[in-house]
Amino acid sequence: MDEVLADPIEKFIQLYNRDYGVPLDLQLIPGNEIFEHVPEHAKDKWFEYINEPGFFRNLTPIHGSIDAIRKLQEKYDVYIVSAAMEFRNSLIDKYDWLAEHFPFISWKNIVFCGDKIVCADIMIDDRVKNFAGFNGRKLLFTSPHNLLLTEYERVNNWQEVLDKLL
Amino acid sequence: MDEVLADPIEKFIQLYNRDYGVPLDLQLIPGNEIFEHVPEHAKDKWFEYINEPGFFRNLTPIHGSIDAIRKLQEKYDVYIVSAAMEFRNSLIDKYDWLAEHFPFISWKNIVFCGDKIVCADIMIDDRVKNFAGFNGRKLLFTSPHNLLLTEYERVNNWQEVLDKLL
């Protein structure tokens, strides 16, 4: 979900702006995580933000994701698989967020997990750690933190996903 | 989780007892679900009970499950895979219940889903619908509702699971 369907980076920047004056038009350097762009003493703050109830509830959907998932559903069984289990308070927020923005995804097709031990043909993910042990086709969805990786089939946006899969 | 690690039947009986006088020592007839043992006008009430926040929070662990999972962990990567997604309010209750009774299970090894599309070698489940599409070894964990099924490898309790897998 995060950085593929939903945009937590924008939210992090807003919170770091509010608390530490980080500029709202911050552009992440390729390969960097958000915490590498904030003052030293605020580096761990992201963990507090992300654990706060509501953090995941009002994220902006990634451009084109809603239409793309709807189109992919015409050809594929689409499952939303999120490593939500790391953050207790994210569970209900992510559930409600999906119900709002992706109401056409059935509860049967939602998976909140830690390790992504799913059986599937294709996985679209921004974190290569989630590809570990996955035997299907892996599509690395571009996000600033993964821009320097070259050994994966990359998709830069949802239009490119559709071009490849439809 | 339900009827394998946690006991929702006991809780249902307590609630039906409180509201409709169903006897606390009710024994389910083999093949029956709980709603087949309650007055006609209370048949749908289980759905209301199960959607109430807190329903899943204080269920009794199934006898032997905690020790058995701990022992299985010595030989296997054990994942808890629960079809929790059907009931929005169950998510946080199930998460907290696991943290209380199975604190030795990492968040990485917990999966809340609809369809159980997991890649694994062995699945222990009381609902045969969850075996659909699963290619590994299937162990049907005995529960009243599945007692009439004969076409699966059955385990009647956690000791039998250990006898088979250790």
pLDDT of residue B19: 96
Query: Which residues on A lie below 8 Å from B117 (Cβ)?
Result: 79, 111, 118-120
In a domain, B41, yes or no: yes
Test A107 with B86 for CB contact under 8 angstroms: yes
In a domain, A124, yes or no: yes
Q: Do B109 and B158 sit in the same domain of this protein?
A: yes
Residue A90: closest C-alpha in chain B? B92
Q: Do A152 and A110 sit in the same domain of this protein?
A: yes
Domain extent for B128: 63-165
Residue A99: closest C-alpha in chain B? B88
Nearest to B119 among A108, A112, A117 (CB): A117
In a domain, A76, yes or no: yes
Test B110 with A79 for CB contact under 8 angstroms: no
Q: CB under 8 Å, gap of 24 or more: what pairs does A85-89 form?
A: A85/A112, A85/A113, A85/A114, A85/B95, A85/B107, A85/B108, A85/B110, A85/B111, A85/B112, A86/A114, A86/B107, A87/A50, A87/A51, A87/A56, A88/A51, A88/B92, A88/B95, A88/B96, A89/A51, A89/A52, A89/A53, A89/A55
Q: Do B32 and B87 sit in the same domain of this protein?
A: no
Number of structural domains (chain B) is 2
In a domain, B58, yes or no: no
Test B110 with A110 for CB contact under 8 angstroms: no
pLDDT of residue A13: 97
Cα distance from B120 to chain A (closest Cα, Å)? 8
- Whole-prediction pTM: 0.96
Q: Do B67 and B136 sit in the same domain of this protein?
A: yes
ipTM reported for the complex, 2 dp: 0.96
Mean pLDDT computed over every residue of chain B? 97
pLDDT average, residue stretch B140-152: 97
Q: Do B10 and B92 sit in the same domain of this protein?
A: no
